[in-house]
Structure 1
Amino acid sequence: MPVIAGSDAHIVFARAISLVFGYIYFITWSLSFYPQPLLNWRRKSTQGLAIDFPTCNVLGFISYTISTAAFLYSPTIQSQYAYRHPLSPETTVRFNDFVFAAHGAVLCVITYSQFFPTIWSFKVGSRQRASRVVLGIFWGSILVVLLTIILVRTHGKDGGNDPSGWAWIDVIYSFGYVKLLCTVVKYCPQVYANYKRKSTEGWSINQILLDFTGGILSLAQLLIDSALQADWSGLTGNPVKLGLSNVSMIFDIIFITQHYILYRARPTPPRYPAEDEWEGEQRPLITSEN
């Protein structure tokens, strides 16, 4: 693949484009968190939204916040990254990635809280609860991170500070992979719910359009940054950012197809069977008495 070379003017221009792309995708991705909770608020209902989506988002974005913060502000993680990626020792994580992650975590918690009638007084399906699959992934992901910490403490060299063995950067990578896993899983129940109802009623398409735009720009920024470093290991060194862009865009295309082609102009369904039928028996992540 080509790299960006030539005059200093070309390099400065490429860096400027990367910076602009970074802030534009930060804005579009950040805005994508608002349409769904606002739609829930206008409808005074969460029906049509599979609760697995915000459940995964809460875990995913808290993990992503920890990951980006470590790459930006931890000298230990930065030095370990440089050791493992000598050809491109500078991480491609940027400040706007961290702000986006932290902002997203807050909005995801707000959206998840809308499933509690005692807080918002919204109409919630009688069995709108996280599926067993998602609950397994939720607690399993936390367990994997804890096991990674134990491995670093017990088998890492110099208490995990030597990157040639188990090191603290592996813990940070585990947080990143939790975010990637949550991104892959969180969309599936919503795709299924839309399919069962033959409708996207209650699911905001605006968040998908914003997310799709942000995904394209995020991928473009990552490609430019790696080209500037003349080493494409910058892509493999930041697999979470690359994976997030690709996976999200694939599901965005599916949702766009459902909304504008497959289930266009269909009447509002009288009930939301998919929310009751997904995974058969379901259990809440946090039980509460209403």
Structure 2
Amino acid sequence: MGSWNSTGMEVLSSVLGWIAFCAWSISFYPQVILNFKRKSVIGLNFDFVVLNLTKHSSYLIYNASVFFSSAVQRQYRQKYGLDEMIPVAANDVAFSIHAVVLTAFTLFQIAIYDRGGQKVSKTSILILSVAWLTVIICVFIAIPSHSWLWLVSCFSTLQVVMTVIKYIPQAVMNFQRKSTVGFSIGNILLDLVGGLANYGQMTVQSIDQHSWVNFYGNIGKTLLSLVSIFFDIVFILQHYVIYPAHKIVKSESPGMDNV
């Protein structure tokens, strides 16, 4: 099993990992609190939430398998080297569990609060059906040959695909409404902090080990950070630059005066 060459790097990696964990974990609460205060989920795209649940569920399966399964760890080292460190930490597993619970709770809020006619699109239902059918097929392929690393990599790939797809409905909805009202920017700001810290943790580990296997050996985590950061920037621009709330209030003021 690989070990750290520098105690300082090990401490820094741990700190960055838990910063990412805390930021990402807390990021779920602004939307939940906003929904509770408004007693409404209008402005929050339902496709974003259901795709997010699949994303976090598949990521949990990947993280838990790599972290706890000795068979998966053995196959990982056989493929990438006996001295390579396992690319999943305790904070990754803890985050995934928390993410699944909070995303499921957000779906519960969607069920009980004012939806304003919004619903999950048929396109998202089709995407989810194809995704989980593919996973089932992968399970049946992996069992005979005991290809456990390949199987958990399928879950990692699924969560990356869901990460790319899940943001698009919300971004498009903001564009169509010309507003981000109902969609919490606090969620996005914390998500950005988590993404940067997570990427930093992987970089620190790679520098310490003098190897970049940590990146391509855990490509799902690498792409997760990059894609999340990209879309976070898109949402920040939508909220603060393109569709700032104060402009919406001003544009509505004359009409309100006439009522």
What is the TM-score normalised by the length of structure 1?
Answer: 0.82
Residue 87 of structure 1: how far off its partner (Å): 6.4
**What does residue 68 of structure 1 align with?**
63
Cα deviation 1:52-74 (Å, max 9, x = unaligned): 11101111111111111111110
**What does residue 102 of structure 2 align with?**
107
186-195 or 142-151, larger mean C-alpha shift: 142-151
Q: Note if 1:261 corresponds to 2:241.
A: yes
Rounded to whole Å, the distance in 1 between the matches of 2:143 and 2:82 is: 28
Q: Note if 1:123 corresponds to 2:123.
A: no
**What does residue 148 of structure 1 align with?**
138
- Pick the structure with more helix per residue: 2
Of 47, 51, 57 in structure 1, the residue corresponding to residue 52 of structure 2 is 57
Rounded to whole Å, the distance in 2 between the matches of 1:144 and 1:76 is: 23
Rounded to whole Å, the distance in 1 between the matches of 2:183 and 2:236 is: 11
**What does residue 87 of structure 2 align with?**
92
Q: Which amino acid in structure 2 is aligned with residue 81 of structure 1?
A: Y
Cα deviation 1:179-210 (Å, max 9, x = unaligned): 11111111101101110111110000001000
Of 23, 35, 42 in structure 1, the residue corresponding to residue 18 of structure 2 is 23
Rounded to whole Å, the distance in 1 between the matches of 2:96 and 2:22 is: 12
Q: Which runs of 5+ in 2 are unaligned?
A: 253-259
**Two-structure CA RMSD over aligned residues (Å):** 1.6
**What does residue 151 of structure 2 align with?**
171
Identity of aligned residues (%): 36
Q: Which amino acid in structure 1 is aligned with residue 115 of structure 2?
A: V
SS of the aligned residue for 2:110 comes to: coil
Residue 89 of structure 1: how far off its partner (Å): 2.9
Q: Which runs of 5+ in 1 are unaligned?
A: 161-166, 271-290
Q: Note if 1:220 corresponds to 2:200.
A: yes
Residue 14 of structure 1: how far off its partner (Å): 1.2
Residue 132 of structure 1: how far off its partner (Å): 2.4
Q: Which amino acid in structure 2 is aligned with residue 17 of structure 1?
A: L
Conservation of the 8 A alpha-carbon contact between 1:52 and 1:186: yes
Residues 238 and 88 (structure 1 numbering): CA distance in 2 closer, same or farther, change over 3 Å?
Answer: farther
**What does residue 283 of structure 1 align with?**
none
**What does residue 255 of structure 2 align with?**
none
Q: How many residues align structurally?
A: 247
**What does residue 129 of structure 2 align with?**
139
Q: Note if 1:188 corresponds to 2:179.
A: no
What is the TM-score normalised by the length of structure 2?
Answer: 0.91
**What does residue 40 of structure 2 align with?**
45
Residues 88 and 204 (structure 1 numbering): CA distance in 2 closer, same or farther, change over 3 Å?
Answer: farther
Cα deviation 1:146-189 (Å, max 9, x = unaligned): 111111234x2xxx1xxxxxx11111111111111111111101
Dislocated runs of 4+, deviation >2 Å: 87-90, 266-270
Give runs of aligned pairs for residues 233-252 of structure 1, distance below 5 A: 233-252=213-232
SS of the aligned residue for 1:115 comes to: helix
Conservation of the 8 A alpha-carbon contact between 1:83 and 1:89: no
